Amino acid sequence: MNPVIKELTAHQLKTNLPPFKVGDGVRVHTKVREGDKERIQIFSGIVIALKGSGIHESFTVRRISYGEGVERVFPVNSPNIDKIEIEKNSEPMKARLYYLRNRQGKAAVAVKERRSERAEAAATT
């Protein structure tokens, strides 16, 4: 990225977001404006893609709603994102999880979860 653009957009970058990656289950709290009122709406699902860098960084979250797959793309540095909570960590095998689009039922949300060190120690003994 051009250093001039990077310098101009540096103050717009968010620094309070948790580190998340592809395959993680997240809850994205977005600000929704209805008339003159503002409220927080939560969109929870699995991160299937991370794209871009700097001010242009975005991520795609997929969930199953009433049997239908719903995907939503969020700009990471958007002022409309209040916060991001990580529900579960995972160990993805790929950089993008687009293959989840072709799956049905439980398989559509099955991503290999990261096991804690304590669980791994218990499993080996």
**CATH assignment of the domain containing 57:** 2.30.30.790
Mean per-residue pLDDT over the chain, rounded: 87
The mean per-residue pLDDT over the stretch 60-65 comes to 93
Distance CA 55, CA 11 (A): 10
Average confidence (pLDDT) over 93-121: 77
User: Is a pLDDT exceeding 80 seen at residue 83?
Assistant: yes
Give CA separation, 111 vs 18, 45, 88, 91, 105, in Å: 20, 12, 10, 8, 13
Q: What is the pTM of this model?
A: 0.82
Cβ-Cβ contacts under 8 Å for 88 (sequence gap 6 or more)? 24, 25, 113
Residue 1 to residue 55: CA distance in whole angstroms: 10
Q: How many independent structural domains does the chain possess?
A: 1
> What integer pLDDT is reported at residue 14 of this predicted model?
86
| Category of 35 on φ-ψ map: left (φ > 0), alpha (ψ -120 to 50) or beta | left
Enclosing domain of residue 29: 3-124
